[in-house]
Each structure stands twice: as structure tokens, then as C-alpha cells.
Amino acid sequence: MSNVCPLDYRYGREDMKAVFSEESRIHYQMQVEAALARAHASLGTIPQEAADEITRVASLDVVSVDRIKEIEKETRHDLMAMVKAMTEQCEGDAGKYVHLGATSNDIVDTATALQMKAALEIVMDDVDDMIMVLAKIAKRERDTLEIGRTHAQFAIPITFGFKIAGYIAEMLRHRERIIEAMPRICAGKMAGAVGTGAALGKNFFEIQKRVMRDLELTYEPAATQVVGRDRYTECICIMANIATSLERYGTEIRNLQRSEIGEAAEFFDVKKQVGSSTMAQKRNPMNSENVCGLARVIRGFVTPTFESQVLWHERDLSNSSTERFTLTHVFILLDEILKKMTWVFDGLEVRRDRMLQNIESSKGLVMAEPLMMKLTEKGIGRQDAHEIIRSSAMVAEDEDRHLRDVLLERQDLKGILTEQEIIDTMDAANYVGGAREIVDKMVEAAEETVGRKVE
């Protein structure tokens, strides 16, 4: 059979794919069944020997996926097929206690919570790796002058390290979001058909607590037949938020690699790599472009996730098919682009000379603001100072001259600004404000939060 989904043959790392594989799903579901049996036994509802036996068979080494699928052809119910397959393998009468008091989504949703927990731990590792790579660049490029741009036009000087420091701050916020939301996201339930726990009897509340404590999950305190899907929505929105940040970084790299800007570029293996099948000179930002495209796919799953919150009464099945796509694809693709963007940054070519050339190409126009501020220091009103510099900048641009030369010719500035003051004020290195200190603070924050030192 041919592979259709690109996750099967093109995208996704094996560690994350393994979390959402069919085998993994069944494994987690059987672990929930085992935890339920242990909770029952701890309260005397079933014999301890039965719980031990159910725990023993809750393994893919004992219950095969093939047997489950064989039973599912008859039952047309995947969870019940697993329950029957477990029951078959139990020795003695332990099989009659499998799934006691539970409904399918007690098992399915709790297993999904285990999957999301494992997946979020991988994402956290990915985020930490990216933060540290960004911190390395920010520290290295702390003093590297670059022109800041607003509206895609030259603004005033920054440092490249300062630009990257902003990315560190953003990724640290994402890290905080994941940690803060994990207890809400990773919640299971063991509350029966409509959430009342009736089939679990008088021990309902304690069984639910013990199952979730066993599995190291939180639980839905007032469930329907399912865990509240607002939890899934929060998860997917956080993942989409991270993906959007990655698209922002990828877009910046793509723009900086434009031929007419040329300030940074993705690593390119000049010995072997091919940029174009026909334009042999091309060195395309392929990975950054790929990140941008996949980020859009991730965001595309936000809408169906929101819509899956809206279930009829205590539950219908409209969310089930949707979630088979949303959760798996979002986590696998986010892991993919986090690793890819980290690779891009780790091998990023920073063209410091070109950054200086671009600043100098403005012929001093990008230093209009510091000149205006210098005039205010000399006692000229802010609005008057703005007009002096604005009118001088227009002349310099129209006549293709350096702003410095235009200012030196102005008679109204004689005795106010000396030539050396103009030169010093127009030195870009003297006008980056607190950029360097911001870099230092963000690198320190990265090291303290992640618990690693910048290489």
C-alpha cells in the first residue's frame, strides 16, 4: 500500500511519531486499564491477584495488535476489541474484572492525556534546545551592528544580538505557557458513561483519584462522558502559538537572505547542496521556508479543535475522527519545525560586514533620531529640532548626499553643533540604547531557566 500522508514518508521525527503510533496508543490504553484494576484492588473491590494479572497482560508482548484488529472486525469497536483481547490472555477469572465500571472514554481520554504528556515533554526539550542556541547567537553577536527596520524600511541601529534576544524572551514565554498549562492539558477521567461515576459505585471518587495518581495525571472534576475539550483547545493553541513564532523567525531569516539585503543566510553545503535544478547559483533558505509552510498547517488545526469542543449533550462522536488528525499532526509537525529552526539558527551565517554596509548605505539618514535628540540637548525645542533634521534629510535624499554634509552647511546650526559632535552623534555604535544590556539579561535568563550554560 502506498503512503499518502507526508508524515509517513517526509515529515516527523521517530521519537514524536512513536508517541502517537497505533502501538503506543494501545499501550497507553492498556496501562490505564491496569491502573483501574490496581485502584479497584487497593479498595478491595476486586482481588489483588486479579489486578496483578491484568497488569501483567497490559503489554504488547502479551496482547498483540493483530489480535485486537481481528476482534475489531467483529465488534467494530476498537476499545472493546482491546478489552476482549486482554480478557482472553488473563489466567483464572481475572479477565472478568477488566474494564470494570469504566466507559470507553475513561480509557481513551486518559490514555490521550498520557500521550500528550509524553509529547509535551519532547516539545519542552525542543524549546530548551532552541533557547540555548538563540542565547549562543545573542551572546556572540551582542555588539554586531545592524539596521533596525520598520515598515520594511531602515529605522535606527540595533545589534543582531538584540534581535535574537527578543526571540529568547518569546521562547521563554512559550516555555512558561507549557509548564503552566500541563496540569490542565494532561488530565484524564474515570467517571463512567456520563461523568457521574455511577458504575464505579461508592468508591467512584477514590478510584478516580487513585488511577490518576498512579498514572501521574490530573483528572476532570466534573466530566461528561469525556474530558472537557477546552483542555485540548488550550494545548493546540499553545502549539500553534509556538509554531507562529517559528514562522516569524523563519520569515526574518528569509528576508535577511534576500539578495538586496544579504545580512544573514542559512548554512549551505557548497560542495554538494543544490539550490535549484536550473539556476545553479541559487542558495535558497529552504529550511526557513519549510518551517513557515508547516507552521501554517499547524494553525490550520486550530479551527477544528475549537469546533470539537461543541458536543451534543453529554457527548457525541463528532470529535473523535477530528482528534485523530489534530493532536497527532500538530505535535509531530511542531517537533519537526522546532528542530529544523534550531538547526537553521545553529548554522546561521551572520554577515557582519554586510550589516555595516547597509547602515552606511543610508548616508547618515538612519541617524536622524539621535541628531534630533542632540539638538534638544542644546536647548532647541523638540518640534523645531525634528523639522531641522527632517528638512535636512529630505535634501540629503533628494540630492543623494550624506546627511552629515547637509547639516554642516546649515547656517542656523553654526555654533550649536560642531563638526565633531555631528560625527560622534552619527556613529551607529553610539546609538543602540540598552540593546547590549538587554542581550546580557536575556542570555542570563536563558541559562537560569534552562539550567545550562551558553557554549
Catalytic residue numbers, as ranges? 151, 276
CB atoms within 10 A of CB 293: 12
Contact 99, 107 (CB under 8 A): yes
Element housing 265 (H / E): strand 264-265
Give the integer Cα–Cα distance in Å for 26 and 159: 51
Strands (E), 18-171: 145-150, 153-159
Residues in the chain, how many? 455
Give the integer Cα–Cα distance in Å for 392 and 130: 44
Instruction: Give DSSP secondary structure letters for 9-21.
Output: HTS--HHHHHHTS
**Residue 432 burial by CB count (10 A; 0-12/13-18/19+): exposed, middle or buried?**
buried
Element housing 450 (H / E): helix 435-450
**Kind of pairing between the strands at 218-219 and 187-188:** parallel
- CA neighbours closer than 13 Å in the CB half-sphere of residue 245: 22
Give the integer Cα–Cα distance in Å for 299 and 239: 8
Element housing 128 (H / E): helix 104-140
Residue 415, SS3 per DSSP: coil
Residue 215, SS3 per DSSP: helix
CB atoms within 10 A of CB 360: 13
Of residues 126, 132, 111, 12, the one with CA closest to residue 445: 132
- Cα angle 406, 407, 408 (rounded to 5 degrees) comes to 95
What's phi and psi for 26, nearest 5 deg? -65, -40
Contact 327, 115 (CB under 8 A): yes
- CA neighbours closer than 13 Å in the CB half-sphere of residue 11: 24
Contact 127, 342 (CB under 8 A): no
Give the integer Cα–Cα distance in Å for 113 and 187: 6
CB atoms within 10 A of CB 149: 17
